[in-house]
A = this chain, B = another copy of it.
Amino acid sequence: MRAFLVFLFFFIGNLKPSAVAAQDRYVLVIHGGAGTILKSKITPEQEKRYQESLEQALLAGQAILQTGGKAIDAVEAAVRVLEDNPLFNAGKGAVFTNQGKNELDAAIMNGQNLSAGAVAGVSTIRNPISAARAVMEKSEHVMLSGIGAEQFAKEMGIEMVDPSYFYTPQRWHSLEIIRQRDSLESTKKNQQPVALMETLERKKEKYGTVGAVALDMHGNLAAATSTGGMTNKKWGRIGDAPIIGAGTYANNTTAAVSCTGWGEYFIRLVMAKSICDQMEYGGKTLEEAANQLVMQKLPALGGDGGLIAVDKDGNMVMPFCTEGMYRGYIRQDSLNGPIKKETALYKN
């Protein structure tokens, strides 16, 4: 009877991710930005391209996780694929600043030991996420910025590129349109504060960021986020993506989180860490914590966006309060169990 109960326990346990031994499973969740992503505005061909691109990133991370590799390697690998893809606003495909440059930000965090690395405002590093990882592992710092960060990356043997590598015609076109409209609008209503016009404009646009979170077979969590920021950004603006706690956080005792959205609101809420803290200090589940922050606190403050997260028990969430979010996951919940994989763009 006792043996039967033990068997029953394991059987039931295997159905519920949170009861499975860490060694038996892995989870990888990714995002490619949240915003005005509507089925009515995207052709079936475009949709297919996005889904294939997300799948490619998932498979790059899964190749590491399914052979017992580390969460930190998987999130870096997945984000590198998204950075190299011009469809997403990170790495190649980054949006242009007001000065016609590409200034990239990225952050990575290892939940095993709370080590973290970030770069902000870099223009010559092909994969900012790998520079962030070098900051984490090969410097005693967490955050490096601008030319200094580029010098460090170069010294560490990270692949450098000419700034022109980041040029894509569609992003340049976006900048030109915004510039033309700003010029028109400032002529028409030069009494209206520039900030307000930018705010209204931003709301119409998609927030471009990419990110990945993973739980590996050793029970380790990791998170990575990379972005080109906002089209037409000025004044050396730094958003939430490279800020540990805001756009990126991972802690083996709670969860790994990567955010995308209107960065300023994610900074003010310290979004990623708040989710972990609601779990650690408030005893909330990942789902409760993420829903409360993304669906209530964020819009209540006036912001929007979304996030992806996976907790230490393999539970995952992908909430967003925008029209859509490029997202996907791949997971295997037991050693010989089925591999589940899904990508999505819209609500439901």
Contact = CB atoms under 8 A, between A and B. Distances in A.
Interface residues of A, number: 48
Which of A151, A235, A244, A277 counts the most B-chain CB atoms under 10 A from its CB? A235
Contact of A267 (B142, B146, B235, B282): B142
Contacts of A269: 114
Contacts of A148: 234-237
A134 B132 CA distance: 29
Interface string A248-269: 0100000000000001100111
A246 interface: yes
Nearest to A141: B237
Contacts of A195: 138-140
Contact of A281 (B115, B236, B277): B277
Contacts of A245: 243, 245-246, 267, 270, 273
A244 B139 CA distance: 22
A263 B141 CA distance: 9
A246 B238 CA distance: 15
Given A195-B139, A245-B267, A236 B273 contact: no
Given A148-B234, A277-B278, A268 B115 contact: yes
Nearest to A279: B281
Task: List the 7 shortest-distance A-B pairs measured between CB atoms, nearest first.
Answer: A148-B236, A281-B282, A277-B277, A245-B270, A148-B235, A145-B236, A281-B281
